[in-house]
């Protein structure tokens, strides 16, 4: 009997870039991709954290380098990709949040959240894709969205706006890029324990409200996202594009 073969999750020899890679979800993505065999470039505005992370990945046997890049500086983004070979995998993870009631949001808040969470994501992807197309590389874009790109949240109008926009942008990217063999997908997690979210969970009432929504009964961990990153980057997801992998413990199921 001619049995099918399970597609490989190996990323051996592929070049990967992760933005906001110094901590939290970005660091987990970089570690996961490196453990799957990718040669990972960890990017952040400050070099200290990504240098430390890249060193730790290498100490574990992975291949990694650190690079300083402010993804809100579009000229720097363009120059960064222009001087490097095309990446096979790009994880758009850098992001921010300014939780406020919508009546208190300022123009500066709007520009900060939408600027990093959407504008920078768009133009990082564009610069990466231009290199992929020029070099004939079949690639994978993975954008870190959120369950808040599928539902609403009190005091999160800006964050929801940016993450809902990511979902629509991703679908349009998938259509534009399919003829070039480039896939585009989103990972949309629930609340994950990271240095960014840890202060929020010091508020017992807030933590209880989050746990009431996560039907599996616990806050997410970065480890919950590591195999999803590998999957979407690998040949196992060769027919997967324009979709969102929601890792939310059931939050958006009701």
Active site residues: 159
Q: 214 in helix, strand or coil?
A: coil
- For 126-173, give the secondary structure using H, E and C: HHHHHHHHHHCCCCEEEEECCHHHCCCCCCEHHHHHHHHHHHHHHHHH
CA 60 to chain centre: 23
Helices (H) and strands (E) in the chain, counts: 8, 7
Look up residue 144 and give its two tokens: 């870190």
Residue among 135, 237, 131, 236 at smallest CA distance from 186: 237
What is the rounded CA–CA span in Å between residue 22 and residue 95?
12
Yes or no: say if 28 and 223 are a contact pair by the CB < 8 Å rule.
Answer: yes
Q: How far is CA 176 from CA 129, 169, 173, 199, in A?
A: 11, 11, 5, 40
Yes or no: say if 96 and 116 are a contact pair by the CB < 8 Å rule.
Answer: yes
Yes or no: say if 210 and 251 are a contact pair by the CB < 8 Å rule.
Answer: no
């Amino acid at each position: 009997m001619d049995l099918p073969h399970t597609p490989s999750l190996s990323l051996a020899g592929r070049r990967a870039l992760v933005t906001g890679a110094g901590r939290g979800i970005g660091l987990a993505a970089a570690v996961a991709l490196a453990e799957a065999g990718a040669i990972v470039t960890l990017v952040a505005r400050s070099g200290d954290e990504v240098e430390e992370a890249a060193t730790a990945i290498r100490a574990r046997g992975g291949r990694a380098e650190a690079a300083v890049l402010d993804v809100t500086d579009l000229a720097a983004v363009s120059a960064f990709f222009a001087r490097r070979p095309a990446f096979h995998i790009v994880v758009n993870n850098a992001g921010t949040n300014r939780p406020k009631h919508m009546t208190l949001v300022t123009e500066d808040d709007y520009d900060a959240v939408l600027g990093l969470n959407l504008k920078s994501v768009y133009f990082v992807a564009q610069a990466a894709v231009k290199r992929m197309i020029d070099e004939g590389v079949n690639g994978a874009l993975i954008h870190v969205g959120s369950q808040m790109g599928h539902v609403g949240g009190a005091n999160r109008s800006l964050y929801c706006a940016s993450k809902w926009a990511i979902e629509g942008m991703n679908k349009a990217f998938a259509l534009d890029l399919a003829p070039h063999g480039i896939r585009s997908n989103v990972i949309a997690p629930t609340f994950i324990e990271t240095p960014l979210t840890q202060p929020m969970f010091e508020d017992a009432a807030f933590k209880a409200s989050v746990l009431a929504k996560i039907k599996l009964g616990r806050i997410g961990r970065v480890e919950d996202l590591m195999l999803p990153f590998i999957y979407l980057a690998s040949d196992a997801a060769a027919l997967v594009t324009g979709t969102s992998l929601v890792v939310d413990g059931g939050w958006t199921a009701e």
